[in-house]
Amino acid sequence: MGSAVYDNLLRWVKYGIAPASAPPIELDMTPPDPIARDSYGNALGGLRLSQHAVPTATNTGLNLPPYPQSFCIFYGSHIPFSEATLAALYPSHLKYVAAVTKVTTKNLLAGYILPSDAWQNIVDAWAADVP
């Protein structure tokens, strides 16, 4: 796996071609979490990789109650969706893979990810147990 960051930085320094930028993460400034969130608790705005734009879990980035305490003090928390939620979001495995592919292609064309990362995202979607 590579990192588009390095490729983009090289193009910017060497040729003056600035990398694509994503909108900032949306804020609502409600304590203790100032981040605006969707109905599943995931942040709004920012770079929307397929793992976030086609969610299978709530990824908080927080270690505050009611989120589990442990190593998430460093990483936040990952709370998988229930089978019912997954089935409601993605009525078939093919619909899930299609959604991941669409977002991944958009991010690849924008220059946020490399072709190898795009391919791996789609392979991972096919292997995922959704739904």
For every one of its 131 residues, what pLDDT tens digit does the chain have, with 9 covering 90 and above? 468 888 888 989 999 999 888 889 999 887 778 889 999 999 999 999 999 999 999 987 776 555 455 554 556 778 899 999 999 999 999 999 999 999 999 999 999 999 999 999 999 999 999 98
Q: pLDDT at position 115, please?
A: 94
CB-CB contact of 114 with 7 (8 Å): yes
Enumerate residues 6+ apart whose C-beta is below 8 A from 44.
25, 26, 35, 36, 37, 38
Domain that holds residue 50: 4-127
Domain count, the chain: 1
* DSSP per position, 29-61: EETTEEE-B-TTSPBPBS---HHHHS-SEEE--
CA 66 to chain centre: 22
